[in-house]
Amino acid sequence: MSDAQPKIRLRDLHKSFGDKVVLDGVDLDVGVGESVVVIGGSGSGKSVMIKCILALLPVGGGSIQVDGEEVVGIGSKDRERINRKFGMLFQGSALFDSLPVWENVAFGLLAEKRVLRSEARDVAVGKLAQVGLTPEVGDLYPAELSGGMQKRVALARAIAADPEIIFFDEPTTGLDPIMADVINDLIVKITREMGATALSITHDLASARKIAHRIAMLYEGKIIWAGPTADIDDSGNPYVDQFINGRAEGPIEMAIRA
Amino acid sequence: MNVLQPIGRIFLAFLATVGRLTMFTGSALSHCVRPPFYPRIIGRQMVEIGYYSLPVVGLTAIFAGMVLALQSYTGFARFSAEGAIANVVVLSITRELGPVLAGLMVAGRVGAAMAAEIGTMRVTEQIDALETLSTNPMKYLVAPRLIAGLTMMPVLVFIADIIGVFGGYVVGVYKLGFNAANYLQRTYDFLEAEDVISGLVKASVFGFIVTLMGCYHGYHSKGGAQGVGTATTYAVVSASILILSSDYILTELFFAK
């Protein structure tokens, strides 16, 4: 990936909330069509990093490039254009509970006026089929679905506009191991079919091993290790070792207070 | 030193809130007049504010009118000025009680619901999700509610005015023994367009205040269920205080000679 232009390039990304430094110079490249998983403990700033890239949070300093284009500090028109390349699967699914499932899935397409309202339903049903849900689900409301089904609907919504880059925020959190594996399989299948670039964050290592080409570890606001998924078990990095083996003792000291 | 510190901190926090609210209001208003618009959502909010608030506001208005007639009778009978009751009822209702009571009831009904709904959307990341789906949450969530509040409150208050005056009429005629035609004649003679219109302008301002407070506190809520609860409380309390204080200012503007 060294000379090809990466899809996403983070350089020296900073972000703090008040006095609390969350991102302290993050450097990360995600290549075209690559699936990178960022691992790290709770509160290590993984979610904040993704939200900075999506401009849901203002960046404290540094550079974010998407397809070689600097996106920190761009105007709202350009931001809209950039955000159209993105799809995002939220941790809690974040489905709109006032709308039926099919409207949730087609929401982005309707907002961008890419489909007519009369056609949106068929498009949504197609997307639901991609994540293994039947057309009848389209008429239900999100509150009527189980957690695993909500996750699938959220996934269908994230891919509905055929994004070039998909972000997965803890895709398996809160699911039973079998459903988690189903979601992992779906993520692998869909990103491969779409040829999309994926940036995921998780602390579920089984999930990371399954969906990642490359894994990076975020600790104290910096990427302390990055490498191919196969190398994670002999990274030679004591922090990574402690994390993947889930040991309480080691160089990482869990912050008791945020 | 230690005494001044908390004072300064509170003052700074107050200024920060005023600044945030001003920016929020400016941004919300600019989104009200710039496309895209969401007519379906505006329509839904109009029904919510204008139609579903009718029973509550109507009940409040009819009892306000009734008690007003009764109370002014107690007072005015001492000066043998019972004849002025119709006059007092219609002026009080159209100028003051109609808009203020409706505003307070709608703050409790609609403002609280808005804060809770938008607050829940905030803490469950639904507002973030809107942004990633090419939808500006200010435009999609806030602007339709403000438009609905601005336009539907005058309609609601106009109906409340009629119901309130009717409440006064019922007590005046059936309890206090006024002549019905006489009472209506007096009501009609003393009423001027200015009275009703000033009340409707107030209603529009109150509708704006209620929806703005609901949206603002919901939009900035954080920290799960407790945060949403706090936002709901703030929305109702701040809307009520702003309604009562702006009511005085508006009255000064309309009627100060």
Q: Six-digit token pair at A144?
A: 């009527």
Is residue A2 pLDDT above 60, yes or no?
A: no
Domains of chain A listed by start with CATH number: 1-85+199-247 (3.40.50.300)
Cα–Cα dist A205/A189, whole Å:
19
Instruction: Give pLDDT, residue A251.
Output: 81
User: Is the pLDDT confidence value at A148 over 90?
Assistant: no
For range B203-219, the mean pLDDT: 96
pLDDT exceeds 70 at position A118: yes
Residue B237 buriedness (CB in 10 A; 0-12 / 13-18 / 19+): middle
pLDDT at site B257: 60
A248 has a chain B CB within 8 A of its CB: no
A51 touches chain B (CB under 8 A): yes
From A161's Cα to the closest Cα of chain B, the distance in A is 9
Please say whether the beta carbons of B42 and B144 come within 8 A. Answer: yes
Q: Of the candidates A83, A92, A96, which has its C-beta nearest B134's C-beta?
A: A83
Residues of B in contact with A54 (CB under 8 A): 128, 131-132
Q: Cβ of A168 under 8 Å from any chain B Cβ?
A: no
Question: What pTM did the predictor assign?
Answer: 0.88
Helix (H, G, I), strand (E, B) or coil at B124: coil
User: Where are chain B's structural domains?
Assistant: 39-255
CA–CA separation, A139 vs B137, rounded Å? 24
How far is Cα A149 from Cα A154, in angstroms, rounded to an integer? 9
| Residues B50-89: b if buried by 16+ CB within 10 A, e if exposed | beebeebbbebbbebbbebbeebbeeeeeeeebeebbbbb
Contact A141, A97 (CB under 8 A): yes
Residue A25 token pair: 């110079």
Is B129 close to A54, i.e. CB distance below 8 A? Answer: no
CA B162 to chain centre: 17
> Range with the lowest mean pLDDT among A18-22, A239-243, B63-67, B78-82?
B78-82
Whole-number Å distance between alpha carbons of A164 and B231:
37
- ipTM (interface predicted TM): 0.87
User: Do B84 and B172 meet the contact criterion of CB atoms below 8 Å apart?
Assistant: no
DSSP collapsed to 3 states, B95-114: HHHHHHHHHHHHHHHHHHHH
Give residue B256's pLDDT band: very low, low, confident or very high (50, 70, 90).
confident
Q: Is B133 on the interface with A (CB under 8 A)?
A: yes
Give the pLDDT of residue B68: 94
Number of Cα atoms under 13 Å in the Cβ half of residue A200: 32
Full DSSP string of chain A: --SSPPSEEEEEEEEEETTEEEEEEEEEEE-TT-EEEEE--TTSSHHHHHHHHTTSS---EEEEEETTEE-TT--HHHHHHHHTTEEEE-TT----TTS-HHHHHHHHHHHTT-S-HHHHHHHHHHHHHHTT--GGGGGS-GGGS-HHHHHHHHHHHHHTT--SEEEEESTTTTS-HHHHHHHHHHHHHHHHHHT-EEEEEES-HHHHHHH-SEEEEEETTEEEEEEEGGGGGG---HHHHHHHHT-SSSS----S--
Yes or no: say if A46 and A40 are a contact pair by the CB < 8 Å rule.
yes
**Predicted pLDDT of residue B60:** 96
Average pLDDT, chain B: 93
Is A86–B132 a contact, with Cβ atoms under 8 angstroms apart?
A: yes
CA-CA distance, B5 to A66, in Å (whole number)? 46
Chain B residues with CB under 8 Å of A84 CB are 134
Q: Does B132 touch chain A (CB under 8 A)?
A: yes
Q: What is the largest CA-CA distance in chain A?
A: 58
Query: Smallest Cβ distance to A108: which of B124, B125, B134?
Result: B134
At B22 the pLDDT is 95
Q: Is the pLDDT of residue A147 over 90?
A: no
Instruction: Confirm or reject contact between A83 and chain B (CB < 8 A).
Output: yes
pLDDT band at A1 (very low <50, low <70, confident <90, very high): very low
Return the closest-CA partner of residue A160 out of A192, A197, A189, A121.
A121
Which own/partner contact pairs does B228-232 have at CB distance under 8 Å and 24+ positions apart? B228/B115, B228/B116, B228/B119, B228/B120, B228/B123, B231/B115, B231/B116, B231/B119, B232/B112, B232/B115, B232/B116, B232/B119
What is chain A's mean pLDDT, rounded? 88
| Distance separating alpha carbons of residues B135 and A213, to the nearest angstrom | 32
3-class DSSP assignment, residue B229: helix
Q: To the nearest whole angstrom, how far is the Cα of A108 from the nearest Cα of chain B?
A: 5
CA-based radius of gyration for chain A: 18
**Cα–Cα distance between A216 and A144 in angstroms, integer?**
37
Beta bridge partners, A197, equal A165
Residues A193 and A196: their CA atoms lie apart, in Å, by: 8
Instruction: Tell me the average pLDDT across B16-28.
Output: 93
Q: A-B interface: how many C-beta pairs under 8 angstroms?
A: 49
Any chain A CB within 8 A of the CB of B131?
Answer: yes
Residue A258 pLDDT class (50, 70, 90 cuts): very low
| Mutant choice from B121, B134, B145 vs A, greatest count of A C-beta within 10 A | B134
Residue B155 has pLDDT above 90, yes or no: yes
For the stretch B80-130, pLDDT in tens is: 888 888 999 999 999 999 999 999 999 999 999 999 999 999 999 999 999
Residues on chain A touching B125 (C-beta within 8 angstroms): 90-92, 94
Using the predicted structure, report yes or no on whether residue B134 has a pLDDT greater than 90.
no
- Compute φ and ψ for B52, nearest 5 degrees: -75, -15
What's the gap in Å between the CA of A48 and the closest CA on chain B? Answer: 12
